[in-house]
Structure 1
Amino acid sequence: MLAKYLDLSVNIALQAVRSITITSNGSSEIDIKRYCRIEKIPGGSIEDSQIVKGVVLNKDIVHPKMSRRIEKPRIILLDCPLEYKKGESQTALEIMRENDFSLVLEQEEEAIRRQCEDIIKLKPDLVFTEKGISDLAQHYLVRAGITALRRLKKTDNNRLARVTGARIVNDTIDLQESDIGTQADLFEITKIGDEYFTWVTSEKTTAVTIVLRGPSKDIINEVDRNIQDAVSCVRNVMLKPRIVPGAGALEMALSTALTEKSKSIQGIHNGPYKAIANALEIIPRTLVQNCGGSVIRQLTALRAKHAQDREKNWTWGINGQTGDLADMNQLGIWDPYVVRLQALKTSIETAIMLLRIDDIVSGTKKKDGSAGGAETAGAAGLGAE
């Protein structure tokens, strides 16, 4: 799907990983799960996809008179509701006089007013909260010229904290000047299609949002899968900057080396070398099959190419489009070293685990539906007694 949008996807992945990378004491931290979010917005074309240095939320302001664009905003992040907090246990309230109900309402309003005063005295421009905001709180905030958004996800609030430099506060009474975030360059709400999206951007941020566009949800989901693979690939290379040739070149080089090694070992001890060598050839064989080429002819030619000069021809593999032999140096097809290493480790460890199975115990059911006794099927050739 992204074949003709290769440059776009590569640039997005590179910018995303570089932006969220934090280097300290000679080590790098790249948390793509928490600080690189993908926001999918149907509509437009794939070329409209972009990377935003900041946070993009599918949210709108809580009151129509609040501002939808603020430059260099002062931001407060809350993890508490701006509304009267009800008790966790069931409570009964007995009203004996006419003005008792009015007194209860006044107490609720007073609690909300105190919360808003705690916020207003710090003179912020923006308030984000993970909980709700009552109509009365909206009134006080609008009168003070403060914009508010409610019911954010915890993960979004954490990303906002990273973008703005603000600290998430659990109670308005604990608010201090140091809790206000001032690193954001722009707050803006735009309407895309029928929905409103909030943009909080900063050039110095270490949290990014990849905005994906496309004519349909299916296409956007396909682009999403490709972008996630690209971002993970860039992350692996930046953490471990070592690469190996792809397109079956590495597997054939290892297969050739193991085959040569098996010739120097006598008896049955050379069996594992031959087995792994044959298994590694599955990758180039599959590539040839996908192209509709002659598997025997191309594998024989590739095997001969590697055996001819292992140090010079070890980068030769299968061209995934034509099925012919090709040098990965010229095609520029490389895989992260850590990914290929982990694939080999996992496959060998899985084979060892399966070979250690002696018996298989399976539960059966009789025709009348009642559970029958367990049957033991001896694994053939695995040493079952």
Structure 2
Amino acid sequence: MAFNQTPTIVVLKEGTDSSQGKGQIIANINACLAIQDTLKPTLGPYGSDILLVASNGKTTVSNDGATILKLLDIVHPAAQMLVDISRSQDAEVGDGTTSVAILAGELLKEAKSFIEDGVSPHLIAKGYRLASELCIEKIEELAVDTNKGDQEMLEKCATTAMSSKLISQNSAFFTKMAVDAVRSLDPDDLDESRIGIKKVPGGALEESMFVNGVAFKKTFSYAGFEQQPKQIKDPKILALNVELELKAERDNAEVRVHRVGDYQAIVDAEWEIILRKLDSIAASGANIVLSKLPIGDLATQYFADRNIFCAGRVSAADMDRVLQAVGGQLQSTCSDIRPSELGTCALFEEVQIGSERYNLFTDCPRARTCTLILRGGAEQVIAEVERSLHDAIMIVKRAVAHHEVVAGGGAIEMELSKYLREYAKTIAGKQQLIIAAFAKALEVIPRQLCENAGLDAIELLNKLRSAHAKGETWYGVDFQSENVGDNMKSFVWEPALVKINAIASATEAATLLLSVDETIKSESQGRGQGAN
């Protein structure tokens, strides 16, 4: 008696791991919750820092969500989504990187019970998307429009951004620095890459400097450099991409000569070429010469004899910022240099900062750039100061471009939560439960802020719910009184754009993860690939 047996068909390579269904979605959610648990203690003004040690032994101390996730080296393909949304938040608005990852994790946590009860992931995703749209509309409706050029408003936003950082104790000092840095940029462009940041170990945090212009570390210099001027008023600055150095013939060419005089003629010709270049530079009237390429000992001494300052091997980024500040054009030849191709500034000086010497070009006529010179005891401290300032600068930049703000400290999240709960009561079916779950997830921000500050989260959340039910729109956690209060009046301000971007990104990541119900992992590559 014959049986028709269907042969086993092998589609995937041997060793490939494949898992699917409800269990796979829950496994992905659990991976994201593990990441959320790591980030939760870092949220808010009383959030703790995390010490990360890389495989090469380099240590990083930070509470910046994007930095922590980048250094964690996460291999789980689903958890990698949280890294990506945190990075996109960092690139788009600069702050709120921890909030967005925590909110995405909480949305998945709320969805987990629905998945276990057999609700379709697509229904949950649909409800989340609707709730996200309602939240964004509500934020746009509630946002308070402030004066675009108001210095005080910008400083309040920067202070809020810095409140959770290492430099919160020095926030008054660094807030002004962040606002001045953004104000120095072209208001139509606001390209933060034009804000140079230099780090000099040693000294106190408040010894950090704001330079309205360009500063860069003294470049490698030859004998004769000390005879050059170290301070020039209204200098004429020439920027070159020309090498002003004699080359040793034995390294660069093979020359066959029959008489000693022939060899001498070759050496003389080379000297004549470089001296002709130097004479052209001196004749141009420039008294500062900067070059991307080396300036040798002969040229250094030549310039010193003529009271001209020079610096060779200037990095491309520093050279670009110098040209943006002082004007002029980069020259690839030393012949026919016109006066219009030279830049200028009010003052050039070389100063000692800590153990380093820096060249400063200040009060530039075209200054659309600035430099922040950061000081601090340890490299890790200065690196965290840089990350904190980056967040504050990005927040100020967004506040200048989109001058609408909302109250921070969990106030806007509680108001949105109240609004969604009220909306959920007007609809029937499963969507009502899903939108109510989104409303509950939003409360994770004020709850975590309370827990990190050592406050009673349950008591304060009840007070906040009660206040918002009575129409106190801007009530949030007040850390000064360890109670609740009106954060709009307390100047705990955040640009509305930060919250809009955070809610949109967190919802997008959560719905994407809920739509993945199968993971196929290749043994050879060791990387996961989700298939819907």
Residues 1-385 of structure 1 correspond to what in structure 2 (within 5 A)?
A: 1-20=166-185, 22-23=186-187, 28-33=188-193, 35-59=194-218, 62=222, 63-84=225-246, 92-182=254-344, 184-202=345-363, 204=365, 205-309=367-471, 313-320=472-479, 323-364=482-523
Count of residue pairs the alignment pairs up = 362
Contact map agreement 1:287 1:320 (CA 8 A) in 2:
no
Residues 301-341 of structure 1, C-alpha deviations (whole Å, 9 max, x = no match): 212221222xxx11011124564212102321011111111
Contact 2:475 2:486 in 1 (8 A): yes
Higher relative contact order (CA 8 A, sep 6+): 2
Which structure: greater strand fraction? 1
Q: Which is richer in helix?
A: 2
CA change 1:375–1:221 in 2 (3 A) is closer
Moved more, 240-249 or 288-297: 288-297
Query: Secondary structure at the residue paired with 2:520?
Result: strand
Task: Please tell me the residue identity of whatever aligns with 1:353.
Answer: L
Distance 1:17 1:372 in 2: 45
SS at match of 1:57: strand
SS in structure 1 of the partner of residue 235 of structure 2: coil
Report deviation, 1:95.
3.0
Post-superposition shift, 1:140?
2.8
Closer/same/farther in 2, CA of residues 287 and 65 from structure 1, 3 Å limit:
same
Asked whether the equivalents of residues 291 and 322 of structure 1 are also in contact (C-alpha less than 8 Å), the reply is no
Q: Does structure 2 conserve the Cα–Cα contact (< 8 Å) formed by 1:109 and 1:136? A: no
Q: Which segment is superposed worse, 158-167 or 132-141?
A: 132-141
- Counterpart-to-counterpart distance in 1, 2:201 and 2:519: 49
Amino acid at match of 1:199: L
Q: Kindly provide the amino acid, as one letter, of the partner of residue 96 in structure 1.
A: H
Sequence identity percentage: 30
Distance 2:527 2:178 in 1: 52
Distance, in Å, in 2 between the alignment partners of 1:239 and 1:32 is: 13
Shift of 1:375: 11
TM-score, with structure 2 as normaliser:
0.63
Query: Structure 1: which 5+ runs fail to align?
Result: 365-370
Q: Deviations over 1:197-246 (max 9, x none)?
A: 11111154221111222333333333222222221111110011111110
- Of 7-16 and 167-176, more deviation after overlay is shown by 167-176
Residue 111 of structure 1, CA deviation:
1.7
Task: Please identify, of 326-335 and 207-216, the stretch whose mean Cα deviation from structure 2 is larger.
Answer: 207-216
RMSD over aligned CA atoms reads 2.6
CA distance in 1, matches of 2:460, 2:167: 28
Cα deviation for residue 251 of structure 1 reads 0.7
| Displacement after TM superposition at 1:84 (Å) | 4.9
User: Which residue identity lines up with residue 192 of structure 1 in the other structure?
Assistant: I
Q: 1:80 to 1:358 in 2, by over 3 A?
A: same
The more displaced of 38-47 and 249-258 is 38-47
Amino acid across the alignment from 1:352:
T
1:368 alignment counterpart: none
SS in 1 for 2:374: strand
Please list every run of at least 4 consecutive aligned residues from structure 1 whose deviation after the TM superposition is greater than 6 angstroms: 372-377
Specify the SS of the correspondent of 1:265.
coil
2:356 counterpart letter in structure 1: E
Note if contact 2:325-2:364 (Cα within 8 Å) is conserved in structure 1: no
- Taking a change above 3 Å as real, the CA distance of residues 253 and 200 of structure 1, as seen in their structure-2 partners, is same
Whether contact under 8 Å (2:203, 2:354) holds in the other structure is no
For residues 186 and 373 of structure 1, do their structure 2 counterparts lie closer, same or farther at Cα, with a shift above 3 Å needed? closer
Does the aligned pair in 1 maintain the 2:184–2:368 contact within 8 Å? yes
SS at match of 2:343: coil
Gaps of 5+ in 2: 1-165
State the Cα deviation string for residues 231-280 of structure 1 (Å, max 9, x = none): 11111100111111101111111111111111111112324422321211
